[in-house]
Amino acid sequence: MGDPILLIDRIGVRFGDFQALSDLSLSVEPHAIHSLIGPNGAGKTTLFNALTGVRRPTSGIVLFDGRDVTRIAAHTRVHYGMSRSFQVTALFAELTVEENLRLAVQARYSREGWVFWRSPARRTDIAEEVHQLAAEVGLAERSTARVEDLSHGGQRSLEIGMALAGRPKMVFLDEPLAGMGIDDVHRTKELIRSLRSRMAVLLIEHNMGVVLDISDRITVMAAGRKIAEGSPAEIRQDPIVRSAYLGSAA
């Protein structure tokens, strides 16, 4: 149990008069799966946006891998090892699965994106990585399909693949299982579980069965604040959480 890879200290985000996040602190260990749960509007995605650099927090500090990244640009954070998937599928709709993944892998090689005198296909190492990634998220057979033609579950899988392509130290997954069929859910659950050996995971999910099964630690949010935190067993028994959120799902 060394230093946490992610340390959030009293983060606050304010939109005009509306305080979306207040005084939120959290830490994630380097090889842990940490889940964020809470009702809609609790501020989970806002927290993700603050952590990944999409929205600057109005107060508080974000430390990643020992570095203060609170004000660092989103694209630079990716090169420090932070990577995310989106709640609303944000893929390059007119391109194929392969091309999407290649863009994600290519971004890691910072100079490759500036090469303008030859075709991307010349980099066989990148192509190889793309194949591996596609297989890992179950899209090996559909790698030449256009994103528009994929099923919803396929698109969500590609979302995860894109996040993994950067070989991050920590991945932020925003409702990866949303709208997936039962087989996809099972496969994705095992995939996320397997990520633990390579990286830390911060996961927003509504599927309580999966959350309680694979998480090392769970943070419960409501109205922009943390209302409870602990192991799955502790959370399952917490009376505040039970009344506010879990209901009969636990």
State yes or no: residue 91 binds another protein (CB under 8 A): yes
Of 15, 85, 89, 11, nearest to 51 (Cα)?
Answer: 11
Among 2, 17, 18, 117, the residue binding another protein under the rule CB under 8 A is 117
Residue-wise over 168-187: b if at least 16 C-beta within 10 A, else e? bbbbbbbbbbbebeeebbee
The whole-angstrom separation of Cα 6 and Cα 236 is: 24
CB of 154 to another protein, least distance (A): 17
Sign of the dihedral through C-alpha 202, 204, 207, 209? positive
Nearer to another protein, 38 or 166 (CB): 166
Among 116, 124, 243, 248, the residue binding another protein under the rule CB under 8 A is 116
Among 2, 94, 125, 239, the residue binding another protein under the rule CB under 8 A is 94
Q: Which of residues 36-75 bind another protein (CB under 8 A)?
A: 52, 54, 73-75
Nearer to another protein, 27 or 89 (CB): 89
Query: How many binding residues for another protein (CB under 8 A)?
Result: 40
Residues 6+ apart with CB under 8 A from 71: 56
Sign of the dihedral through C-alpha 77, 64, 158, 181? negative
The whole-angstrom separation of Cα 246 and Cα 48 is: 22
E-state strands within 165-224: 170-174, 200-204, 217-222
CB of 98 to another protein, least distance (A): 9
Nearer to another protein, 98 or 205 (CB): 98
Stretch that binds another protein, among 38-46, 85-93, 186-194, 198-206 (CB under 8 A): 85-93
Among 37, 51, 158, 162, the residue binding another protein under the rule CB under 8 A is 162
Of 160, 154, 169, 161, nearest to 131 (Cα)?
Answer: 161
Nearer to another protein, 96 or 207 (CB): 96
- Contact pattern from residue 177 through residue 206 relative to another protein, giving x for each residue in contact according to CB under 8 A and a dash for the rest: ------------------------------
Token code pair at residue 130: 């793309």
Residues 6+ apart with CB under 8 A from 156: 89, 176, 177, 178, 179, 180, 184, 188
Q: For binding to another protein (CB under 8 A), which residues are involved?
A: 52, 54, 73-76, 78-79, 83-84, 86, 90-96, 99, 102-104, 106-108, 110, 112-120, 123, 146, 162, 165-166
